[in-house]
Structure 1
Amino acid sequence: MSGILIAVAAIAVLAAIFGLLLGFASIRFKVEADPIVEQIDAILPQTQCGQCGYPGCRPYAEAIANGDDINKCPPGGQATIEKLAALMGVEVEDSAHDESKGIKKVAFINEDMCIGCTKCIQACPVDAIVGGTKAVHTVIKDECTGCDLCVSPCPTDCIDMVPVEMTPETWKWELNKIPVVNIPTDASANKVE
């Protein structure tokens, strides 16, 4: 019985020593991340589509922090460009992003032509396409980011990018654009006698 207690105590002591060593190492060898990269990455849409020329949103955020253009993200649109411009303190032209690309599009699979090869499923970075091998595939409209990466691998050209129908939910509401003017009031003019 005492042999078991000695073994448990020895393991507990070793665990405590290694825990202290790991705690010390995490403080001593801490690597500071660039906070501007974190802020830029939070603004980007996180579709990981690669349309900007980088393999994902994080590498593009690092490139922007190092001075790359802020208008290379088609899924983010003009709103993302404006947020990035405000964060980086640069001017942005109204035409910095092509508005025709700003219209949200989603993939549509012509199910009569689909052969179920799964190449579009493998190409989709956000898993918006469902289906099995040699079965008809379909696109989950709410998940599709419109990155267009599923179109080119399709051997039967059965995938088209179609604009999303405008509804009250998808309309570009600009409710925060109403100008607010503070009119200074004279304290003596408001005084009631």
Structure 2
Amino acid sequence: MDILFDNITALGSLTAIALGFGALLGFAAVKFKVEGNPIVDQIDALLPQTQCGQCGHPGCRPYAESVAEGEEINKCVPGGDDTIHALADLLGRDFVPLDEEHGATPESKMVAVIREDECIGCTKCIQACPMDAILGAAKQMHTVISDECTGCDLCVEPCPVDCIDMVPVTVTLQTWHWTAPKGIGSRPGELIPVRNIA
């Protein structure tokens, strides 16, 4: 009879402990609940936050959510290859070059150019530029910093006098660079510094 009582007591003790741990885990699940998907936050942190829409999404957060669900990682034009490499490292995917449909290749990159003699200084293009690539002040001439411009063309439509053109970037000796063939660098398409052998 004592053995039966001991077994019932042990079983009751184990049940009480299990219920206690279950209640504790339930409380912890509610108290420390993670809002949203943490991988989306990590992807979003790697994106440039320009909200330019060149990827086909209305902003960086929606694109991050799509990438987390399996969309390609090569649609962020302002982020370029650096962002694609960072996303590939984070998600364990292979590097893929920038998608030509969503951005410009080095041969076809476009930049905004303001016809300065027609500019009225309304600042609407400055407000529309996600990269802060336009300089100017109210009622003063504006100009584009071509090295900062990603060619998103978000500044063209707000211009009331239509003085902004999208022009292709011309390749010069200063802007041309050689891209290593796949397999030579540590990452496909990575630039390898050329050593002077002389």
Pairwise TM-score range, normalised by the shorter structure: 0.5 to 0.7
Is 1:171 aligned to 2:146, yes or no? Answer: no
1:61-104 Cα distance to aligned partner (Å, 9 max, x none): 12211234545434456786687567656789889534983242
- Contact 1:113 1:156 (C-alpha < 8 Å) held by counterparts: yes
1:41, CA displacement in angstroms?
Answer: 3.5
How high is the TM-score relative to the length of structure 1? 0.59
1:13-52 Cα distance to aligned partner (Å, 9 max, x none): xxxxxxxxxxxxxxx6474774533553355444321223
Evaluate the alpha carbon distance shift between residue 173 and residue 39 of structure 1 in structure 2; reply closer, same or farther with a 3 A threshold.
farther
Distance 1:87 1:133 in 2: 43
Which residue of 2 is the match for residue 65 of structure 1? 68
Which residue of 2 is the match for residue 160 of structure 1? 165
- State the identity %: 63
Distance 2:78 2:85 in 1: 14
**RMSD over equivalenced CA pairs, Å:** 3.7
Distance 2:175 2:96 in 1: 24
Q: Give structure 1 stretches of 5+ with no counterpart.
A: 1-27, 181-193
Is 1:142 aligned to 2:124, yes or no? Answer: no
Evaluate the alpha carbon distance shift between residue 177 and residue 83 of structure 1 in structure 2; reply closer, same or farther with a 3 A threshold.
farther
- Contact 1:78 1:102 (C-alpha < 8 Å) held by counterparts: no
Aligned pair count reads: 153
1:106, CA displacement in angstroms?
Answer: 1.6
- Contact 1:120 1:151 (C-alpha < 8 Å) held by counterparts: yes
Is 1:127 aligned to 2:127, yes or no? Answer: no
Distance 1:176 1:39 in 2: 30
How high is the TM-score relative to the length of structure 2? 0.57
Which residue of 1 is the match for residue 23 of structure 2? none
- Contact 2:124 2:158 (C-alpha < 8 Å) held by counterparts: yes
Which residue of 2 is the match for residue 51 of structure 1? 54
Is 1:97 aligned to 2:97, yes or no? Answer: no
- Contact 1:107 1:139 (C-alpha < 8 Å) held by counterparts: yes
- Contact 1:77 1:102 (C-alpha < 8 Å) held by counterparts: no
Q: Give structure 2 stretches of 5+ with no counterpart.
A: 1-30, 186-198
